[in-house]
Amino acid sequence: MAGKYKAVALAFAAVLIGAAPAMAQQVGTATAVNPSSEGTRPGGSTTTLTVGARVLHKERIHTSPTGSVQLLFLDKSTLSIAPNTSLVIDEFVYDPASGSGHMLTKLAQGTLQYVGGQLSHQGAVTIQMPVAVIGIRGGIGIFSQGPNGAQAINLNGKQIIQNGGGTVNTITGFMSIIPNWNTPPGPPFRIPPDLIIHNINILSSKFNQDGGVPGLNNLNTAGLQPPWPWLPTNTGENDALQIIIQSTQRGTQPTPRPVNTDSSIRLR
């Protein structure tokens, strides 16, 4: 009889192990998607992201040369992911009752913009790149990793940039360049206005793209566009920063939609 119960227990355990990828924790939702953006779930296949898709713990996100996606997480933080970007939501733990937890995103290549939520207010958010590990408190930051190193742009809050060569802290309006893991992060300097413009361009939807929401590209956005060209002044930088913040706020406004628990229509 004991052998029979043991066999049943082992069979039940095998069922649970086999179902583990399907039970992976949801950590966020895709709120805007331009083709083509893909997600690879832990232990699963690669699928094309659509608006409303569930984002899971350990999920890999990849965007094509024309793709971009915005993710809204449970702590109300967002990631805006530019074309030609590859990253992993490596860790995300959040307790809504206490507001505590931590988040780790690994950026392999490309550009992302992080807008802080509850976790970043506690300094519990980390962006890891091949050349550095960056702790965030605040805040809004843009991070880029390419073949010649990385950039860490601090639009709001505090950043601690660490690698094998040393540590650098940046504050709002400053950035650092990190050439490789063994070279200390470069000294902070003011963010050039033309770099802000560049990042706005690559993080924004392109002409005729609607973020996965039909009709969105017909919205009147004239009120969000400052006089062109922006001048290399504090006013120009502030205008650019406001565009980033307002665009993110628009992209993460909750839209009433039917509740559907069938994940097969969320990720195709």
Residue 208: per-residue pLDDT: 58
**What secondary structure letter does DSSP report for 147?**
T
Residue 46: per-residue pLDDT: 84
Domains and CATH numbers, the chain: 25-256 (2.60.120.1440)
Judge residue 191's burial from the number of C-beta atoms within 10 Å of its C-beta, 0-12 exposed, 13-18 middle, 19 or more buried: buried
Joined together, the tokens standing for residue 70 give 């915005």
Answer left, alpha or beta for residue 76, where phi above 0 means left and psi between -120 and 50 means alpha.
left
Residue 230: per-residue pLDDT: 34
The beta-strand segments (E) located in 74-124 are 78-81, 86-95, 100-115
* 3-state secondary structure (DSSP) of residue 136: strand
Residue 4: per-residue pLDDT: 45
Residue 237: per-residue pLDDT: 47
Instruction: Please identify every stretch of the chain with a pLDDT value under 70, giving residue numbers as ranges.
Output: 1-24, 206-268
Residue 31: per-residue pLDDT: 86
